[in-house]
Structure 1
Amino acid sequence: MTLGHTRLLAISLLAGAAHFAVPVARAAQAIPPAGGPITVPAPPPGANLPVAEPIVPDAEFEKAIPAISPADDPELSRPLESIDEFERRLAAQQPGETNPAPTTIAVPAAEAATTAPAPIGSAPVRDAELVAPLAPLESFKVEPTTFAEPEKDTRDVEVAYLVQVNGLGDAAVADGLEGRFNGASALKGGKGKAANAAQVSSRAGEDIVLLKKLLAAEGWMDSRVTSRIEQPQAEAGKPLTVVFDVVPAKRFAFTSVEIDAAPTIPATLIRDNLALQVGEPVIAERVLGAEAKVALALPENGYPFATVGQRDVLLDQDTGGADYTLPVAVGARGSFGAIVSSGKEAFGASHVEVLARFKPGELYDSRKVDDLRQAMIATGLFRSIGVEPKGTGKPGSDGTEVVDLAVQQEAGPPRVIAASAGYNTGEGFRIEGSWTHRNLFPPEGALIVSGVAGTQEQGAGVTFRRSNAGQRDRSFELGLDLNHSSYDAFSAYTGRLAARVSYDSTPLWQKRLTFAYGAQIIGTNESVYDFTLGARERRTYAIAGLTGQIGLDTTDSLLDPKEGFRVTALVEPEGSLQRGFSPYARVQLDGSAYYPVGKNLVVAGRVRVASIQGVDLDDLAPSRRLFAGGGGSVRGFAYQQLGPLDPAGDPTGGRSLNEAAFEVRYRFGDYGVVAFADVGQSYATSLPDFSNLRAGVGLGARLYTNFGPMRVDLAMPLARRPGEGWLNVYVSIGQAF
């Protein structure tokens, strides 16, 4: 074979090795030890091995390679020299070098089978240091490296910078791009300072991506954004300027808006809710919003299983047009069927039906399903709750399919411990606590044990409460209370048995219209000042009465309102058995209003008017009289200190009162400040005459929490009289009104 053939064959083998790496590796493992025979592993039985065919026939190969003879190159006829001869000839061609005797490596016969073959021939030792013995480690010395110039300080140096965006033009104003860029920009977030120039460059790269995304989201799909950093021309220390050059591309607009869906009832249900029009720009936020509205509208109008598919938008780069198609799987039109409950239940399906605001056979509406889910959460009895529609395949009214609701319950811990505390000048400290089992008498039958420990009041009570009693949001309460109170106006030992049916607001369910009615029996032994005797004496009163209340609430929050108004009327016809039967009626009217002035400022005001008709003051138990003064009345004065006084200067209470309050509330973050002025008075007559009004002014602080504001108010009376404190403190939860 000629040399040319050999080179081509080597190239062919190298090329083939890339495709047969695994077989070649396996063959290498089969090579026997040196001196042994070469064996080839036998193929497995039954193996069907391919027959090797030449890639290029020999005749074609020989024809393509030109012939080379010794006559053409005399070197081809000479025999190859040995490696020893080659080494000696190479050494002779380099003056000053000697060719030492070749070094041979002998391998014992016993190791021949496990060691690699010995080197062929000999290798000259060219450097005497390679064969010299190593110096001891302790004699090795390390010399420090010295530099011609001092080492530079590599610490980070703070860099100041400015940001400039060119090219947004009127689009930035129309679409708010500049504002959104400023809100999300990495450079803007750094507030004009960076650790070094590299950090400035990195932030600029992030902002290029941000600008492109913002432009694409507004319809400019292929906009070009570049940045550069301009160095200040004047003295050092001036900030860099990061400049963004924006070249908006052609803005895409809708040329068609198509809906791929089965017919609905009404026929335009999907189109009426898909707020995309031909000719308007392709704005991502509007597209997502329109599709979300469709996804909400279908289940709200009888299609519980409707799904919105993946939109198809075909863009025309030449015209800037966009053909939009939205596929929608409408599903069956449904009507409400049965409620099926499962899981760790707090109550059964029959009570779930009490909470539902729909009846079987009504057209399916997902808003009513969400309302049911929230009503179950409001009971406070569940760790988790799920309400999902389930198709039945049964025909319903108006061509609908009956859809059952599967309620999956996971009841939570039913026991709750709660506590609250407060302080008012004149009333002292007051701590209230309660233990509640919210579902001791299912469904929603709670047992509440409560207690009061205060400077001037102590007591305990037990209450049974049935929530959602036969009707959604209606509660029934039966309670027994025992209390002792000791105030300047009176001291009393009181027992009370009361029953009440109410429709009240809660922090989760604030209602526009509320009402309550009930009955109560009160037995009390109290100290009272007898003007005939000129001294205090204790009397026992037995009181039976009814109570009725109605309220209208248009405010935006139960504990921290910012707008709207509230009006509440209370009527309590009662009869006292002291010195015979003495019927009378307690009437009270409360109103408050709230008006926002700007984002963080609220102006609030309230009024109260009350009267007791049909009984003389001396026949009325002191605890049932009307008093003014204190944190929930007229701040700046101690609790119950306003109104008629006995000769000792202690309040006796009255049969009428009037109060008013005005507040300016300013909030910043989780904190707030309040300036307020209160005015009021109570009177011995049955109707208030609005004379001798007393006023107090003050400042308050608010800490806003997730359950409402905590307040501290400091108030002082105007035209302070002898015996009145110059500063009064009130601490409580919630706004004053």
Structure 2
Amino acid sequence: MRRRRQLILTASLFGLAWTSVAAAQQADVAPPAVVPTVAQQAPDAEPLPDIAAPTPPPPEAQLPEVAPIIPDEEFKSAIPPISAEDDPELDKPLESIAEFERRQAEAAKAKAAGTPAETAAGDVPQVDGAPVPALADGDSVEAIGDAPISDAELAAPLPPLDSFDVTPVEFAEPEDKNETRTIHYAVKVNGLAAADDGTDADLADLFDDLSALHDGDGKADNFAMLRARLSADSELMSRILASEGYYDAVVETRIDRGEAEAGANGAAARNRSITAVIDVKPGVRYTFSDIVIDAKPTIPPGLIHDNFPLVIGEPIVAQRVQGAEAAIALKLPQEGYPFAKIGQRDILLDGDTGKGLYTLPVDIGARGCFGGIEAVGKLAFDADHVDILARFKRGDLYDSRKVDDLRQALVATGLFATVAVEPQPTGESAGDDSEYVTMLVTQQAGPPRTIAANAGYGTGQGIRLEGSWTHRNFFPPEGALIGRAVAGTKEQSLGVTMRRSNAGRRDRTFELITEATRSRYNAFNAITGRVAARVSYDSTPIWQKKLTYAFGAELIATREDDYDFALGQRVNDFYTILGLNGQVGIDRTDNLLDPTKGFRLTARVEPEGSLAGRFSPYARTQVDASGYYPVTDSIVLAGRVRVGSIVGAARERLAPSRRFYAGGGGSVRGFGYQELGPKDPNNDPIGGRSLNEAAVEARYRFGNYGIVGFLDAGQVYRGSTPDFSGLRYGAGIGGRFYTNFGPMRLDIATPLGRRPGEARVTVYVSIGQAF
């Protein structure tokens, strides 16, 4: 016995359809139509439409002679003679209706007089052995049951409703008003242990996950619902077994009812235990007898077979088969075959041996190399800019992974409503038995404008509201114009940024920034204007880069107040600062916004100088390092260290906004913003030339929520070298709410060894982890 099987989804089976040729022929022969003649039509009937009469055969046609099935003599001899001589009743005239009614009336009178039916009834019609009575007018009376109805009974009026006996029906057992109609049932599966290869546990787990009976939690509204679930689970079990190679499995179902349970206080037994039973006979598990891949030779020769995970002798499991085919469909386009197609598999099963012959046709198509780029549709930018985003060049062997990368890069620009990247054959030879493939980029430009806002709060920093308006393609291609405003209790600012993304190179950004800021902090008050230019190669949520960099220049004009120890008061001064900046970062974490393992290292150098009076150069340097270690799937230990130093100028020559400060939500929690470090006689911070900070967190996440316990430490020093003395500590607890763009955090901390003037509790609200 050999059968062909197709694995579709979880392993559907094709049945065999047999069609009777005789039935088909019979269905093709229509019965002859009966067409009435004019004489047969009723006089008042509408005339029939003209119906074409069949054309008689021509006289010269030679029609074959058809032998009769039964000879005429045999047919006539089989018919009994019918004549008045054989049956005199045939010549008698038909009885009139009046004579028939008369005989019925006489038969009824004879019955009423007690005359035997066999002598009085004669030919009177009878019902159940009794003659049918006649009414007064001669019509016969229909017998209802065994009692004939008289004319008087039919004319009698109906009795009133209140004369009927309406005594309620008494049941053998009184109805329990508290009894529920819900059926409670148990589920039992027998026979899975008979499956070989140790698959019984896996099959049972898979059945439990998908079972309608288990989804019902052991309750059903009625037996019809229970039977429907049992029937659905029977089909489910058959599909599961077939998907694991048990094609000859037999699944039977039944509902077992246990013995009734006795009611309370000696009441009659009412409830019975119900069990939905599924009996399984898995049968033989089919295995591969041979695996045939019908495909043309590839380059390299073993490309298909080396990446096809099925082997001869293993069970025919649907998931394994589909996974193997998907692996080939994925591998071929990655190795230069953009138009490869996987055909319909064929599995020929031999029921006598329990083996299956697997055949898979594969059309590898033409081998291709990247050619040009063509952009069509409603364009956000042209093909030349698409070429900047692509990580392939003309002549490179086609690789679908690079095509997917280009598609993601186009989506990341935020300029498209829809975008698609597809290979198109050109027929142009590229050598080595390959041809050039054009990448067709179909664009549908979307709305380029975006409005965004965020808010936060920190003790010492106050409430901070920030909003922005962005036109992402104001200077095509990808030239954005950004307007930004900050409204806070401690800071207000306005700024405009012109940003070119993918500027001449993939992921490189060029920015021109101008802004004006008013700050009112305990450390200083300032009105600042800033103009800056910056080139960066940064990470994004889609592409988190291992190495990043940035460099630029800025010109700052600021009027700030500082405490003059000689005068014993705060005085205002004007600073003009020209500076350069450079930054290099290494990122080995698993997530840009919420890392759980790995480390980060960033180094920043800012050589700058004051242009007021004589030029006073100095350099600001800062190094940040952080690490993350997953203790369990839900607990992460995180730590960070920061060290900074300013060399080349005394603290008094530095603008207060260019000094180092510590304290606050992104620094040492438990203290107000910029609160740590040297103080003036009014106990206001004045900043320093060096700092060090450290923090450790234990992050516990459950679902979309999390709890964080933390300990921070840090200090700011007058000198340019941090000596790690006099460290201040803050401890606290925080909550996290995880969203698709990163966690939102609320931290509450307190300073350890609190001093006069320091808050007992500090609160910080922002987006993202503290580090």
Smaller-chain TM-score bracket: 0.7 to 0.9
Aligned to 1:4: none
Choose 466-475 or 558-567, whichever is displaced more: 558-567
Deviation at 1:88, TM superposition (A): 3.6
**Are 1:486 and 2:493 matched, yes or no?**
no
Could you give the per-residue CA deviations for residues 619-638 of structure 1, whole angstroms, max 9, x where no partner exists? 11111111111100111111
Could you give the per-residue CA deviations for residues 534-585 of structure 1, whole angstroms, max 9, x where no partner exists? 2111111111111111111122211111122111111111112345211111
Equivalent residue letter for 2:626: S
Aligned to 2:238: 212
Distance 1:697 1:225, change over 3 A: farther
Choose 182-191 or 473-482, whichever is displaced more: 182-191
Aligned to 1:111: none
Deviation at 1:63, TM superposition (A): 3.3
C-alpha separation in 2, matches of 1:489 and 1:663:
28
Deviation at 1:264, TM superposition (A): 1.3
C-alpha separation in 2, matches of 1:380 and 1:134:
91
Aligned to 1:67: 81
1:351 alignment partner, SS class: helix
1:679 alignment partner, SS class: strand
Supply the RMSD in Å over aligned alpha carbons.
3.3
Aligned to 1:312: 346
C-alpha separation in 2, matches of 1:274 and 1:722:
73
Distance 1:479 1:99, change over 3 A: same
Number of aligned pairs? Answer: 700
C-alpha separation in 2, matches of 1:32 and 1:479:
101
C-alpha separation in 2, matches of 1:28 and 1:708:
89
Q: What stretches of structure 1 of length at least 5 have no aligned partner?
A: 1-15, 104-121
Aligned to 2:424: 390
C-alpha separation in 2, matches of 1:345 and 1:572:
41
Aligned to 1:282: 316
- Residue 189 of structure 2, aligned match among 165, 169, 173: 165
- Residue 266 of structure 1, aligned match among 300, 311, 317: 300
Deviation at 1:608, TM superposition (A): 1.1
Matches within 5 A, 1:416-427: 416-427=450-461
Distance 1:37 1:644, change over 3 A: closer
If asked which structure has higher relative contact order (CA below 8 Å, sep 6+), I would say 2
Matches within 5 A, 1:41-56: 44=51, 47-48=54-55
Aligned to 1:541: 575
**Are 1:586 and 2:610 matched, yes or no?**
no
Distance 1:46 1:68, change over 3 A: closer
Distance 1:234 1:91, change over 3 A: closer
Matches within 5 A, 1:80-479: 80-94=94-108, 95-96=111-112, 99=134, 146-149=168-171, 152=175, 156-169=180-193, 176-196=202-222, 198-231=224-257, 235=261, 240-479=274-513
Deviation at 1:704, TM superposition (A): 1.3
C-alpha separation in 1, matches of 2:161 and 2:261:
55
- Residue 518 of structure 1, aligned match among 517, 527, 552: 552
**Are 1:653 and 2:687 matched, yes or no?**
yes
Aligned to 2:8: none
C-alpha separation in 1, matches of 2:272 and 2:752:
58
Aligned to 2:770: 736
Deviation at 1:709, TM superposition (A): 1.1
Distance 1:139 1:248, change over 3 A: closer
Deviation at 1:516, TM superposition (A): 0.7
Choose 511-520 or 176-185, whichever is displaced more: 176-185
Distance 1:130 1:539, change over 3 A: farther
**Are 1:616 and 2:616 matched, yes or no?**
no
Checking the alignment, whether the CA contact within 8 Å between 1:607 and 1:661 is kept in structure 2 is yes
Aligned to 1:560: 594
1:375 alignment partner, SS class: helix
Choose 258-267 or 207-216, whichever is displaced more: 207-216
Distance 1:164 1:45, change over 3 A: closer
Equivalent residue letter for 1:697: A
Could you give the per-residue CA deviations for residues 574-599 of structure 1, whole angstroms, max 9, x where no partner exists? 11234521111111111111122222
Deviation at 1:323, TM superposition (A): 0.4
Distance 1:202 1:666, change over 3 A: farther
C-alpha separation in 1, matches of 2:279 and 2:103:
70
1:288 alignment partner, SS class: helix
C-alpha separation in 2, matches of 1:637 and 1:507:
31
Could you give the per-residue CA deviations for residues 666-711 of structure 1, whole angstroms, max 9, x where no partner exists? 2222111111111111111111111111111111111111111111
Could you give the per-residue CA deviations for residues 388-420 of structure 1, whole angstroms, max 9, x where no partner exists? 111111111322112111111000000000001
Deviation at 1:269, TM superposition (A): 1.2
Q: What stretches of structure 2 of length at least 5 have no aligned partner?
A: 1-25, 59-65, 113-131, 144-148, 263-270
2:590 alignment partner, SS class: coil
1:267 alignment partner, SS class: coil
1:587 alignment partner, SS class: strand
C-alpha separation in 1, matches of 2:86 and 2:602:
124
Q: How many percent of aligned residue pairs carry the same amino acid? A: 55
Aligned to 1:595: 629
Equivalent residue letter for 1:165: V
C-alpha separation in 2, matches of 1:164 and 1:201:
14
Checking the alignment, whether the CA contact within 8 Å between 1:31 and 1:39 is kept in structure 2 is no
1:725 alignment partner, SS class: coil
C-alpha separation in 2, matches of 1:614 and 1:91:
142
2:304 alignment partner, SS class: helix
1:652 alignment partner, SS class: coil
Distance 1:385 1:141, change over 3 A: farther
Could you give the per-residue CA deviations for residues 361-408 of structure 1, whole angstroms, max 9, x where no partner exists? 111111111111111000000000011111111111322112111111
C-alpha separation in 2, matches of 1:453 and 1:388:
47
C-alpha separation in 2, matches of 1:124 and 1:160:
57
C-alpha separation in 2, matches of 1:589 and 1:29:
112
Equivalent residue letter for 1:205: S
Aligned to 2:9: none
2:432 alignment partner, SS class: helix
Checking the alignment, whether the CA contact within 8 Å between 2:606 and 2:619 is kept in structure 1 is yes
Checking the alignment, whether the CA contact within 8 Å between 2:134 and 2:140 is kept in structure 1 is no
Checking the alignment, whether the CA contact within 8 Å between 1:101 and 1:124 is kept in structure 2 is no
Equivalent residue letter for 2:364: V
Deviation at 1:32, TM superposition (A): 4.7
1:481 alignment partner, SS class: strand
Matches within 5 A, 1:701-716: 701-716=735-750
Checking the alignment, whether the CA contact within 8 Å between 2:105 and 2:140 is kept in structure 1 is no
1:357 alignment partner, SS class: coil
Checking the alignment, whether the CA contact within 8 Å between 1:416 and 1:435 is kept in structure 2 is yes
C-alpha separation in 2, matches of 1:713 and 1:309:
58
Equivalent residue letter for 1:401: E
Aligned to 1:112: none
Could you give the per-residue CA deviations for residues 288-319 of structure 1, whole angstroms, max 9, x where no partner exists? 00001111111111111111011000111111
- TM-score norm. by structure 1 comes to 0.87
- TM-score norm. by structure 2 comes to 0.84
C-alpha separation in 1, matches of 2:152 and 2:394:
100
Distance 1:203 1:139, change over 3 A: closer
Distance 1:416 1:38, change over 3 A: closer
C-alpha separation in 1, matches of 2:31 and 2:444:
61
C-alpha separation in 2, matches of 1:499 and 1:43:
95
